[in-house]
A and B are shown apart, each in its own frame.
Chain A
Amino acid sequence: MRGLYIHIPFCVRKCSYCDFYSLPGRQDRIKPYVSAVITEARAYAGLSFHTLYLGGGTPSLLGAEQLKNLIGGLRQTFDLGGLVEATVEVNPESATPGFLGAAMDAGINRVSLGVQSLSDCELESVGRVHTAARAIDAVTLSRNLGFTSLSADLIIGLPGQTWDTLSAALETLVRLGINHLSVYCLALEEGTPLAQRPPGNLPSDDTQAELFELARAFLIGEEFIHYEISNFARKDHECLHNINYWRGGEYLGLGSAAASHLQGRRSRNRPALDAYVENPTGQAEYVETLGGEEKAAEEAMLRLRLLVEGIDPGVLSGRFSPATIETLVSRLDSMVLSRMLEFDNSRYVLPASRILTSNEIFREVLGTGTGGVPGGRHCEV
C-alpha cells in the first residue's frame, strides 16, 4: 500500500484554532502552485499509489480547472492504475456543483467535508467562513452528485458547545447519509488567535471528554465503528489513506509543508509557499531515518491508534526482524499485565477506557516512559 498526499495551502480565511500551513488571500498563486506540485511529482515519476488524498488548507479553492490540471498531471507522472480511494477535502463555502462535478470526472471517489459544527454561533466563534445551512447543502449536493463515500469533520470543544448542539449535528449528518466522521477535540495550539485570546465559554478538557464519550456512544448506536482514535466509519467506509499512515505505510506528500514516508525515511517540505513555487524539489527541511527498534516502536504506537485492528504480532514480525522487536513485544506484554493494553483476538489493542488518556500508553510503547530513548536515530536537517 502506498499513499499520495497533496497539500493545498490556500484558504479564504484562517480559522482561529488552525495551526496547519495555509495562507488566506493567496489564491492568485494557485495556478503556479499546481504546476510546482507537478514538477515536484516528476522527481518521483513512475511510482504507483493506491490512495490519493487532497488536503489542506482548502483544496476546494482549486476550482474545477486547476483540480483537473492537478489530477491530470499526477496521472501522467505516476502509475495510478491501482488507485482504490481518492479523497478531496471540501469546505462547504466552495462546494460548488462545478468543482464537485469536476472532482467526480477526475476520478475522485470520496469527499471529506469540513463541516466542524452545525451551530452558526459555534462556527462564527472560531471564524469559519460558512454557515450550518451551507454545510448541509454541501453534503446534500455531494450525495446527489453520486459520491457514495462521504466524510465530515466535527470539532468537539467549540466555544459554547453543548451536547444539545453536538448531538443535533451528529443526528443531522447521519441522517444526511454521511458514512465517515472525523471527530477532533479542539486544541489550543500555540500561536493561534484562539490560544492567545481563549473565549470564556470554551468547554474544559473534562467537558470535552464528556462530549466525546457521548458522541462515541451515539455513533456506535448508529452502527458506526470507532476504528481510530478520532475516526468513526460505517463498515467498509474507513479511510484507507489514513489507515496507511497508522500502519506505518509508505506515502509521498507533495506540496508546501507536506510530509512523506518513503523507504523508512520521514521528511517534510518547508512550509513556505513562494519558495516552493520557485524550487519545488528543494524543500525537504526535516529528514529522519529511524533505527530498527525505534522504527518498530513508532509503528506499534501508530498501529495502536487503530482501535479494532490494533497490533497483530504476526504482522509485526513480518515487518521487522525478531531481534528488533524483542524488547518491544516484552514491553507490550507487560503493558497487558498492567492493563494499559488488552490482548484480544490475538491482537494488542487500546482499552476503550483509555482512548482519551492514551498519551501515557503511547509514551510507554515508544519506550520513553521508563528509560532513555533507544539509540539508533539518524537525523539530518
Chain B
Amino acid sequence: MDNIRNFCIIAHIDHGKSTLADRILELTGVLHTTTNAQVLDSMDLERERGITIKAKSVRMPYKSKDGQEYFLNLIDTPGHADFNYEVSRSLKACEGAVLLVDASQGVEAQTIANAYLAVDAGLEIIPVINKIDLPNAMIDECRQQLEDTLGLPGKQALLVSAKDGTGVPELLEAIVTLVPPPKGRVDEPLRCLIFDSFYDVYRGVIPHVRVFQGSLRHGDKIMVKSTSEVYEVDEVGYFTPKLTPCEVLSVGEVGYVGATIKNVGAIHVGDTLISPEHPETPGIPGFRRSQPMVFCGIYPINTNDYGRLTAALEKFQLNDSSIVYEKESSAALGHGYRLGFMGMLHMEITMERLKREYGQELVATMPSVIYKVFTTAGEELYIDNPSRFPDPTRIDHIEEPLIRLRVIVPNEFVGPIMELSDSKRAKLVAMEHPDRRRALLTYEFPLAEMITGYYDKLKSVSRGYASMDYDFLGYRNGDFVKVDILVKENQVDALSFISVRDSATPRARVLIHRLRKLIPRHLFEIPLQAAIGSKVIAREDIAPLRKDVLAKCYGGDITRKRKLLEKQAEGKKKMKMVGSVEVPQEAFLLLLKMEE
C-alpha cells in the first residue's frame, strides 16, 4: 500500500489537463504512441468542447529515480461546475491533486473552485504551471496568484509543458514524494467509495471504486450502504485504461467492480459499498443523491417518433445516470418528456448527444429551475415546469434557487460585468483581486437568470476573458408571476415562463415581438398575446399572407418547380402545429435568447 499513489489533475477548462494526462500515460508506458487523441476524453463531444464529462481512472506502473516501484492511479474528474458534487467525490478517492494553471492565463474561476474542493477533501496539492513553452507565459505572475489567491506555495510550483513533455518526469517524482500513500486496514470490514460508474450491456452497472477498508474479490457479497441492496461480485479489476480483471482490489486501491447490477438507479456516485456481514460499517461522509437543477421539456417534432424518443432516453440514461426524466404532455407539443439536468452545460451537451447519437428531431422548451411554491393551504410544492404553477390566488409565496457565482475578469471589464449582473438581479458579496490586472467577483445569483443566457453574455461582454464557476446556495423568497403566451387564442403552455413581476411586461414584449418575426405569415391573421392570468400585457398581430405562388411556371422546367414545392413542404414538417398555426422550433427556444 505504501507504493500506491492516488491523485487527480484539476484545472480550469483548456488549461491542458487532458494533454498532461496523455503525457503521463506515455511516460509510464500505458500509452505507447504519441497521438493527439486524448485518451481520457472518449466522447466526441467532450473533445469538441474540451471538457471531460465522465470521470475515469487509469492505473500506471512507475519506477521512481531511487528504484522503487509504484502504482499511480490517475483519477479523472469532470471539468465543469454543473458536476461539482461528482468532482468532490472523485477528489475524495485521492490523496493528492495536481493543480494545473495555464501560464498564459493564470488562475481562473474554476481553478479556484477546484482548489477549494481539493482543500475540503484534505488533499495534498501540487501546484503546476503548464504551457511554459508559450511565448506569452507569465510564470512569475502565476506563482504570485497561487500564493495570493489560493495560499499555495507558488514558488515551489513545478514548471511543465504538457505539450512537449518538459517537466513531466519531475512531476511524476513529485507525485510519489509529496502525495501520501493511502491509509486504512485490510483486516477491517469492506468500505469503498463509488466515485463513478458506467453501464455495460452484458454486465450491467460497473461502479468505479476506491477501497478505504478491507478488500474485494470475486465471489464476495457487497451491500450498497444507502439502499442495503446486496450483490455478488463476479469480477474486480482496474483500468489500464482498458478494463483489466485482477484477483483482488485491496485497501488503498482504485478499480471497478462487476456484480451484475441491472438497475441503473441502484448505484449513485458518492455511495459506499460495504460487506453485508457488517451492515453497521459507516458510509463515506458527504453522500447525497445528486439533484437536477435545470429542467426542460423535450418533444419529438413528429408525434409518431415518441416511441423512438422513449427508447433513446432509456438507453441514454444507462450512460448518464445523473439525468432524470419523466413523461410530460403539453397541449401545444403533444407527448414528450421532462428532463432534469445538473446544469446548463449538462443540458446543452445532453441535447446535442440526443440529437447526434439517436438522430432525433426534437423541440426543446425553455429551461426552468425548480421553484418552491408555498400555497395558502400550507403546502410546499416543488415546481420545475411553469405550466404547472398553481393559480395565483392559491399561492402564498414563491422561493427560487440561488447560487454562489465566482467570476474572474480583467479589471477593464469589471464595469460591464457588474452592469450585466445587476440586470440579472445578482447581489455582489465580495470583490477581490487575485492579481493586479484582474478582479474576482463573488455574487449571490438567481439560478434562473444564469440559465437564460448569462454565460454567453458574460463571455461576450468580457470578450471571452471572463471565467466563472458556481455552487448551489439555497432558496430565496421573491415576487414572481407566470406569464402565458397565446397564439391565435391558443395558450402555448410550452412558452409560459416565470418572471419577476417588475420585468414581466418588458420581457413579454420582447418575446412577443420575436415571436412575430419568427412565425411565418399564414393565410389568416394571427394575434400573439402575453398574459398574466387573464390580463394581457403584450400583443402583436401577424398580418395574413397575401402572396405565396410560383408565378413563373414557364419554359417547361416543371421538375424544378415541383422540387421547390417539395422543399417548402419539408420545411413545414419541421414546424409544430399550435391550433391552426405552424410554429417553427426556434420559437420554443426564444425565451433563452430573449435577453440578447
Binding site for B on A (CB under 8 A): 3, 5, 7, 20, 55, 184-185, 187, 205-206, 208-210, 212, 229-230, 242, 245-246, 251, 253, 258-261, 266, 268, 286, 288, 298, 301-302, 305, 355-360, 362-363, 366, 368-369, 373
Task: Find residues 543-561 in chain B having any chain A CB closer than 8 Å to their own CB.
Answer: 543, 545-559
A-contact 0/1 string along B533-551, CB 8 Å cutoff: 0000000000101111111
Chain B nearest Cβ from A15, distance in angstroms: 13
Q: Does B266 contact A (CB under 8 A)?
A: no
Residues of B within 8 A of A185 (CB): 547, 549, 551
The listed residue with most B CB atoms (<10 A of its CB), out of A3, A205, A302, A360, is A360
Quote the shortest CB–CB distance from B171 to chain A (angstroms).
58
Chain B: how many interface residues by the 8 Å CB criterion?
24
Known contacts A366-B569, A369-B569, A359 near B550 by CB under 8 Å:
yes
Q: How far is the CB of A365 from chain B (nearest CB, A)?
A: 9
Write out, one digit per residue, whether chain B residues 111-147 have a CB within 8 A of any chain A CB (1) or not (0): 0000000000000000000000000000000000000
Contact call A357/B548, Cβ cutoff below 8 A: yes
Judge whether A305 and B553 touch: CB under 8 Å: yes
Inter-chain contact B556/A356, CB cutoff 8 Å:
no
Which of A187, A242, A366 contacts B562 (CB under 8 A)? A366
Assess the B558–A245 pair: CB atoms within 8 A: yes
Q: Chain A contacts of B552 at CB under 8 A?
A: 184, 187, 230
A36 CB to closest chain B CB (Å) equals 19
CB contacts under 8 Å to A, within B562-582, are 562, 565-566, 568-570, 572
Whether, in the assembled complex, B523 has its beta carbon less than 8 Å from a beta carbon of chain A, the answer is yes
Nearest chain B CB to A271 CB, angstrom units:
11
Of the A-B pairs whose beta carbons lie under 8 Å apart in the complex, a sample of 30, sorted by A's number, is A5-B555, A55-B555, A205-B547, A212-B547, A229-B549, A230-B551, A245-B553, A245-B554, A246-B553, A259-B557, A298-B558, A298-B562, A301-B565, A302-B553, A302-B558, A355-B549, A356-B546, A356-B547, A357-B523, A357-B546, A357-B547, A357-B549, A358-B548, A359-B550, A359-B568, A362-B565, A363-B569, A366-B565, A368-B566, A368-B569
Q: Which residues from B are CB-within-8-Å of A368?
A: 565-566, 569-570
Residue of A with least CB distance to B552? A184
A229 to B553, CA, bound (A): 9
B547 engages A208 (CB within 8 Å): yes
Q: Please classify the interface of chain A as helix (H, G, I), strand (E, B), loop, or mixed, using the class held by over half of its residues.
A: mixed
A360:B523 contact, CB within 8 angstroms: yes
> Is A359 a contact of B549 with CB atoms below 8 Å?
yes
Which B residues lie within 8 Å of A251 (CB)? 556
Shortest distance in angstroms between A328's beta carbon and chain B's nearest beta carbon? 15
- Complexed CA–CA distance, A298 and B557 (Å): 13
Taking CB atoms, residues of chain B closer than 8 Å to A266 are 558-559
Q: Tell me how far the C-beta of A149 lies from the nearest C-beta in chain B, rounded to whole angstroms.
A: 18
Given A20-B555, A259-B555: A209 in contact with B547 (beta carbons within 8 A): yes
Nearest-Cβ distance from residue B566 to partner chain A, whole angstroms: 5
Q: For the complex formed, measure the closest distance between the CB of B247 and the CB atoms of chain A, giving whole angstroms.
A: 58
Q: How far is the CB of B545 from chain A (nearest CB, A)?
A: 6
Main secondary structure on B side of the interface with A: loop
Q: Roughly how many angstroms separate A230 CA and B554 CA in the complex, as a whole number?
A: 10
Contact A301 B562 (CB under 8 A): yes
With the chains together, A259 CA to B562 CA distance in Å?
A: 14
Report the minimal beta-carbon distance from A374 to chain B, rounded to whole angstroms: 11
List, in ascending order, chain B residues with CB within 8 A of A55's CB: 555
Measured in the bound complex, the distance between the Cα atoms of B543 and A206 in whole Å is: 10
Cα A253 to Cα B557 with chains together (Å): 10
* Residue on A nearest B566 in the bound complex, by CB: A368
A184 to B553, CA, bound (A): 10
Is the Cβ of A356 less than 8 Å from the Cβ of B558? no
B357 to chain A, nearest CB (A): 24
Q: Known contacts being A229-B553, A230-B553, A366-B566, is A359 close to B548, with CB within 8 Å?
A: yes
Chain B residues within an 8 Å CB radius of A7: 555
Q: Determine the chain A residues whose CB is within 8 A of the CB of B548 once the complex forms.
A: 356-360
Tell me whether B549 and A261 are in contact (CB under 8 A).
Answer: no
Question: Do A373 and B549 touch (CB < 8 A)?
Answer: no
How far does the alpha carbon of A268 sit from the alpha carbon of B560 in the complex, in Å?
A: 10
Task: Give, as a whole number of angstroms, the nearest-CB distance from B519 to chain A.
Answer: 16
Q: Given the complex of chains A and B, what is the CA–CA distance between A242 and B559 in angstroms? A: 15
- The chain A residue sitting closest to B567, CB to CB, is A368
A363 pairs with B565, CB closer than 8 A: yes
| Given A185-B551, A206-B547, A245-B556 contact (CB < 8 Å) | yes
Most A-side CB within 10 Å, residue of B543, B549, B550, B557:
B549
Complex alpha-carbon distance, A85 and B559, angstroms: 25
Interface centre among A3, A5, A369, by most chain B C-beta atoms within 10 angstroms, is A369
Mark B184-227 against chain A: 1 for CB-CB distance below 8 A, else 0: 00000000000000000000000000000000000000000000
Which residues of the partner chain A approach B550 to less than 8 Å between Cβ atoms?
A: 358-359, 362
CA distance A230 to B572 in the complex (A): 26
